[in-house]
Chains A and B, each alone.
Chain A
Amino acid sequence: MTIDVDKVREDFPILDRTVRDQRRLVYLDSAATSQKPIEVLEAEAEYYRTCNAAVHRGAHQLAEEATDAYESARARLAAFVGATPDQLVFTKNATESLNLAAYAFTNSSVPHGQGDADPRFVVGPGDTIVVTQMEHHANLVPWQEVCARTGATLRWLGVDDDGRLELDDLDRVIDETTRVVSVVHQSNILGTLNPVRLLMDRAHEVGAIGIVDACQSVPHQHVDVHELGADLMAWSGHKMLGPTGIGMLWGRPDVLEGMPPFITGGSMIETVFMDHSTFAAPPKRFEAGTPMVAQAVGAAAGAAYLERLGMDDVAEHEHQLTGYALERLRAMPGVRIIGPSDNHERGSAISFVVDGIHAHDVGQFLDDRGVAVRVGHHCAWPTCRRFGVPATTRMSSYIYNDTADIDVALDAIRAAQDFFGA
């Protein structure tokens, strides 16, 4: 293994606890949220202990130090994806990041009285917005809303039986009417790693804005915004060892510059009069109100931890574990993998169904043996419908998992099969 899992585990105190009658915790739900190493917890606590203050204001030393901590976090998280700090907007989570992007279109498309909307963000009847059939609800529902409010039409790229995007009709789905292409980099339910570069290039070919939901890729592999070719990219802190309450939206400078604000109020203004206001330049334009300073600091500590391990080693470690799990799941009678069953262009999230046993019941058996997995539709209900299943069980591994964890999970699946006679 490329990562010393025993050593990594020492940094994650939660993995020492037991669950359900003294069972060792086997945490295979990192696609939902990752666990946090001590240094992330410490970074957050240290911020509150030593320099907590309101950022970007206040004429005192604490305010200076707090601002420095916040902006240093921004710089580190931007660098983590090959970007510069002025291109990184902090939000409360990736869902908000994607809504920020979606509302740029809605807000540019409704009459504002000033007529100064950037035409790249104005959509209406006859225009199309393209997503995929494997989007998380967070990258689907906001676009449904944009369409409902502006009269634009939603289109999507389908998913084949192996959980891969159907790209044969790419040029038909993304055409001259397309104004937005917003796609998931790595599916949270199927594990599929999508050819985002291809989709972004096609988006730009037709003059559309290209957006990537990178929640499941940034924590698990080296991601560079320039290599992806996106205009905007959203991801979250809590899936990459950071705390909850912090999300990121990276944007190409000229794209961010053309976007109207989403949430308005303090901190995001340039000047304010009684009857109108002007807005600050990005990224501050999109950070109204007191920001999540401690969470940003924690997320940056998470990024630092991952950088120290090395993202290529993280990816290789997960690739090996995923291969181990896929091989064994494929060999289990009555188990069907929902998503790519070969260990190629896919991440560590593995969804499966067990014949005759609902995912909830499978999950209950795993839980009984200390294994934490996610069951349900994984906020990708249309994807479940595509595969004709009401729900799946999903196990997702990360830097602190090893093959012994996978074995415990597989044993629990067999126990559920025995119990239900499936």
Chain B
Amino acid sequence: MMQALYFFFSILVFPGLLFIINISLLYTGIMRKLTARMQNRIGPPVWQPFLDVIKLFSKENINTENARPGFTFWPIVVLASTFVLALMIPVSGMAPLATSVDAIIIIYFFAFTSFSLFMAGLSSTNPFAVTGSIRGLVQIFAYEFPFVVAMLVPLFFVGTLSPAIVNAYQLQSGSWLFFNFPIAGVVFFICLLAKAEIPPFHVPDAHQEIVGGYHVEYTGTRYAFMEIARSVKIFVLISLGIALFFGGASNIFLFIAESLIMLFILTVISVVAARVRINQVLKLYWFLGFIVLIELIVRLLI
């Protein structure tokens, strides 16, 4: 009985949905505030994303005339698949839905969130949204391979398929796997930028050329879903990075400290770098994939 109650508590409250939605929106707010300070502005308050999301929930939902049937359906899928990811990944050592083969499910669900965003954009039939979706899909082909290989390096080293065990291993040995595998760590970090669509690689939702990519046609609640999903995805990627490479975390305070440092580095990169073109993204990521594959093979042979 107690165990079932604890299970539901861990899914719904901590470290489940309630905690994850709140902390990821807060992290987005911190990111916006830091960006503003680095650009010599005052910037919004850190709770700004909460206000944005509440406002979006209170706005009208517009159904466009040319939209395909999936138009109302895919934003919910985007949100749901991001939540599944969030429940799979160890936040401070705990993952409510953890199994022994997490890594495979995580890889599939990361691809699935990107794919459902692609479908959301495609079903709205707006030219900007379709362009953004196709760019997003091309970007998946670019970053998915180096990301997966970089994830496999620490997993093979520890000999498991569960990020929670890698997290525990790092805590036990007291050293960061990032220092054992610096190349894989750096490649993972660069892929994290592309997966979260943070500025140097925000090709799919380039505001200046294709007014926001997939979510051009989305208003109100559906856009709020996509915004929450985006924030949760950034948080999930950061916690996966901590579990696999950057030290691991035994309690929530250590986790928050480490993730804030990672968020700061991400923000610095996003402020400093300009957007790259889609062909440059492909070239860069295939190069990275090649390098990290060599590292994986060398590690396996030794």
A and B: real partners?
no
B-side residues, CB < 8 A to A, are none
